[in-house]
């Protein structure tokens, strides 16, 4: 199966994390709604990667001080 993986640039930080790791199937593009949801998750992961790369603090401090859009959506979906 195809996968979409977004990571922060490891050259920017030695502790780069995987910000999105998702299996992708044709159903994810089968409708405008499903495609928009996939693109929205990708946009959030890219924004998180940029933030991660710019951050001068440690990953632990970042997690405790901010909540990324992707983390907020994951919490909303889990609830």
pTM of the model: 0.61
Q: Using alpha carbons only, how large is the chain's radius of gyration in Å? A: 14
Say how far apart CA 57 and CA 77 lie, in whole Å: 28
Tokens linked to 49: 């990667």
Beta strands, E only, the chain: 2-7, 18-24
The pLDDT score that the predictor gives to residue 60 is: 46
pLDDT digits (tens, 9 = 90+) for 41-67: 999 999 988 888 787 444 444 455 556
pLDDT digits (tens, 9 = 90+) for 15-38: 667 889 999 999 999 999 999 999
- Work out the end-to-end distance of the chain between its first and last CA atoms, rounded to an integer number of angstroms: 28
| Structural domain boundaries in the chain | 2-78
């Amino acid at each position: 199966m195809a996968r979409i993986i977004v990571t922060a640039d490891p050259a920017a930080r030695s502790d780069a994390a995987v910000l999105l790791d998702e299996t992708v199937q044709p159903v994810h593009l089968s409708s405008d709604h499903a495609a928009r949801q996939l693109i929205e998750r990708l946009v959030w992961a890219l924004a998180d990667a940029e933030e991660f790369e710019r951050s001068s603090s440690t990953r632990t401090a970042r997690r405790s001080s901010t909540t990324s859009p992707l983390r907020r959506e994951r919490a909303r979906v889990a609830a």
